[in-house]
Amino acid sequence: MKKMEAKRRIVLVPVPLQGHITPMMQLGKALYLKGLSITVVEGQFNRVSSPSQHFPGFQFVTIPESLPESELERLGAFHFVLKINKTSEASFKDCIRQLLRQQGNDIACIIYDEFMYFCGAAATELKLPNVILCTQSATNHVSRCVYSKLNAEKFLVDMEDPELRDKVVDNLHPLRYKDLLPSDFGPLEPVLEFRREVVNKRTASALILNTTRCLESLSLSWLQQELGIRVYSLGPLHITASAPGSSLVEEDMSCIEWLNNQKPRSVIYVSVGTIHLMEAKEVLEMAWGLCNSNQPFLWVIRSGSIHGFNGIESLPEEVGKMALERGYIVKQAPQIEVLGHPAVGGFWSHCGWNSTLESIVEGVPMICRPFDGEQKLNAKFIETVWSVGILLEGEVERGEVERAVKRLIVDDEGAGMRERALVLKEKLKASVRSGGSSYNALDELVKQLKIE
């Protein structure tokens, strides 16, 4: 009997954080649909739910010595990722050697999340082709590359000068020098180390980004020129290949029924992503502002996501009552479905890159309330480049929240943003359709992976 020719296997290594797992699984699905075989390397926790149900045909392997979940809570996401990189290389190499034995050496490529840079070192040592997936915006990657070439100490001193802070980086409008500043994760050295490692391409032959030309053409061209390796923009990956079931937390579908009973474009959907913690004071001001706006709201409050606050139960009685009358609160929402619901008129977002893409793809304008540098950059683009959102800066106060909600949902200003978001939505959808830039880039990537 003729032996079936083995498919070419791609090994995917996501970082165990929701906002990174989701696009990696979407990429895996897109490659699988193009005829490649997929193996996903996971840690012992943070596994995608029911993999065999949602990803039939994928192989899942586990690195035994990965960090326990409690470390994520104890260290915070940034230091957790640093520690994974310091502790996982040996077990990852064992895992890949075993896979090579099992698969008769058929590994075409390792695609690793840019935050899992230890895989780059391992792939280089094992002489395996490798490609980096960047799950954040192209402009954010550009800002890290520019920053890595500066003298960090001198730069910090320079940034005390307001004129230099606001200066636009050459040929990269609207990126300003102050946008390059790292977020405050504590001492500077670990942040510098992390940034150096993330922009170090080692032996990678390509960089994949979850973005598209019509959103970030300047940054993509800059990266293509600067990095000297192929840059593939395949996004938005959730419409290139949707991959349900990669959520780490169960989604509360009851909110869809609640949305079904609301007027078209009346609801403000509130979610600050899967990582960030909020201060109780800000949550209270938001609650008052949302209630006072008289617009219905759907609010995601994750367990333990507010310092010193246990969720709706500890809001002052009056606000809690109003919140339950005007709003609906869940611990996790099916976000893409929510944003696509006709009742949703706006998104209060922390401007994580996935949330940003998901909102634009549904034509939903945003109230931007970013926490860290990457999100601030996204918020700047949302407000000033694509003009589909309102940025809230400084301390949040209830009157300001109320005004922002009204501007977005009720006023003509919001209607204009919605129109622009709808135009962008069509462009994004066209980019993943046959002949579109992301569609073509995926075809080119698959060719490269099959040849390597």
- x/- map, 333-372, ligand UDP, by CB under 6 A: x-xx---------------xxxx--x--------------
Which is closer to ligand UDP, CB of 155 or CB of 258? 258
Tokens of 206: 């390509």
Q: Which two tokens stand for residue 316?
A: 């002052």
Q: Which is nearer to ligand UDP, 130 or 246 (CB)?
A: 246
Considering beta carbons, is residue 273 or 436 the nearer one to ligand UDP? 273
Residue placing its CB nearer to ligand UDP in the complex, 66 or 354 = 354
Minimum CB separation of residue 362 from ligand UDP in Å reads 11
Helices (DSSP H) in 34-105: which residue ranges?
A: 51-54, 69-87, 89-102
Does residue number 18 form part of the binding site for ligand UDP (CB under 6 A)? yes
> Per CB under 6 A, which region of 18-26, 187-195, 196-204, 362-370 contacts ligand UDP?
18-26
For residue 138, give both structure tokens.
């192209």
The residue among 62 and 247 lying less far from ligand UDP, judged by its C-beta, is 247
Q: Which amino acid type is present at position 132?
A: I
According to CB under 6 A, which one of 9, 12, 22, 369 is a site residue for ligand UDP? 22
DSSP 3-state assignment of 364? coil
**Near ligand UDP in 152-211, by CB under 6 A:** none
Contact between 300 and ligand UDP by CB under 6 A: the answer reads: yes
Residue among 354, 344, 356 nearest 383 (CA): 356
The rounded Cα 216 to chain-centroid distance in angstroms is 15
Using CB under 6 A, count the residues that bind ligand UDP.
18
User: Could you tell me which stretch among 107-115, 330-338, 405-413, 420-428 binds ligand UDP (CB under 6 A)?
Assistant: 330-338
What is the C-alpha separation between 274 and 1, in angstroms, rounded?
Answer: 51
Minimum CB distance to ligand UDP smaller for 273 or for 373: 273
Stretch that binds ligand UDP, among 160-168, 331-339, 413-421, 422-430 (CB under 6 A): 331-339
Of 37, 211, 240, 271, the one binding ligand UDP by CB under 6 A = 271
Contact 316, 335 (CB under 8 A): no
Tokens of 391: 């940025």
| Alpha-carbon distances of 443 from 203, 304, 422, 432, rounded to whole Å | 22, 42, 27, 11
Across-strand partners of 391?
Answer: 368
Contact between 19 and ligand UDP by CB under 6 A: the answer reads: yes
Q: How far is the CB of 18 from ligand UDP (least distance, A)?
A: 5
The span from the CA of 366 to the CA of 349, in Å, is 7
274 binds ligand UDP (CB under 6 A): yes
Q: Which residue has the tokens 């709706």?
A: 312
CA 399 to chain centre: 30
- CB of 70 closer than 8 Å to CB of 45: no
Nearer Cβ to ligand UDP (129/352): 352
Interface positions, 278-297, toward ligand UDP (CB under 6 A): none
CB of 72 to ligand UDP, least distance (A): 13
Q: Which listed range, 16-24, 169-177, 304-312, 318-326, lies at the site for ligand UDP (CB under 6 A)? A: 16-24
CB of 136 to ligand UDP, least distance (A): 8
Minimum Å gap between C-beta 280 and ligand UDP is 20
Which DSSP letter does residue 312 get?
A: G
> 327-330 and 297-300 as β-strands: parallel, antiparallel, unpaired?
parallel
Distance CA 347, CA 369 (A): 10
Site string for ligand UDP, 228-267 (x = CB under 6 A): -------------------x--------------------
> Which residue number, 177 or 309, has a Cβ lying nearer to ligand UDP?
309
- The residues that bridge with 131 in the sheet, in sequence order, are 111, 206
269 in Cβ contact with 297 (< 8 Å): yes
How far is 441 from 234, CA to CA, in rounded Å?
Answer: 6
Q: Minimal CA–CA distance to 16: which of 57, 52, 58, 44?
A: 44
Where do contacts with ligand UDP occur on this chain (CB under 6 A)? 18-19, 22, 247, 271, 273-275, 300, 332-333, 335-336, 352-355, 358
